[in-house]
Amino acid sequence: MEIGRENSCMIKMDEGLICIDRTLPVVSILGKKYTILILSLLGNDNTRNNFNDIANSIPGASRRIISMRLHELENEKIIEKNEGEITEYRLTDRGYAMRKAIVNLLEVILNFN
Amino acid sequence: MEIGRENSCMIKMDEGLICIDRTLPVVSILGKKYTILILSLLGNDNTRNNFNDIANSIPGASRRIISMRLHELENEKIIEKNEGEITEYRLTDRGYAMRKAIVNLLEVILNFN
């Protein structure tokens, strides 16, 4: 038992405690640059998107970092890559569940006044 | 009208479009290191926390970065600082609204299997 970690990851909720291991890749990805935008954009219209669609939707973003992020999201089965004539990305079921919660969070923020 | 930005920030939802300006400080803070953990931890038991409580809850974290993050969150009125005998931090109403949406997102992630 890792006392340090156990003590560090308690988040109290109505229904009890949840334990966040911030070293979990999926938790770690969440806090990385562009993750929230990529997931939000990829779910638009349930469409697939190729790399340029994604990169062009985030002007000024580093294409290298977007590429890293897509790779990490694919590793965590949050998005999937279809390699046909054009390589396209789309959200998995996990990805859609995450996007829904992310959009909800963005709405909370945008309602700040 | 900034076409580039407008094109870049469309997120389609059931109820229409939302437009995310990723240069908004509060959107930018969301993707920074420790933000999600700090907000999650600060809401525990509705208590106030001093700097050491927060830093000790995230072992291995850089105290300098936690300090920067607290400052940014305070600037965005997501947390407030009470300077008494001990300087303490707590969530504002904004902060509680954000924490609720964040915890919901973390639950989605933790339910991945």
Q: What is d(CA B80, CA A101) in angstroms, rounded to the nearest whole number?
A: 25
Asked if the C-beta of A32 comes within 8 angstroms of chain B's C-beta atoms, the answer is yes
Query: For every one of its 113 residues, what pLDDT tens digit does chain A have, with 9 covering 90 and above?
Result: 333 444 445 677 666 677 777 667 887 888 788 888 899 888 887 667 889 888 888 777 899 999 999 999 999 999 999 988 888 999 999 999 999 999 899 889 888 87
Query: Is some CB atom of chain A closer than 8 A to the CB atom of B98?
Result: yes
pLDDT tens for each residue of B49-62: 899 988 888 777 89
Query: Cα separation of B96 and A50, whole Å?
Result: 37
Helix and strand tally (H, E) in chain A?
6, 5
Q: Are A112 and B94 inside 8 Å of each other by CB?
A: yes
Residue B65 touches partner A, C-beta closer than 8 Å? no
Q: Are strands A16-19 and A10-13 parallel, antiparallel or unpaired?
A: antiparallel
Q: How high is the ipTM of this complex? A: 0.81
Best A6, A10, A12 residue to mutate vs chain B (most B CBs within 10 Å): A12
SS3 B11: strand
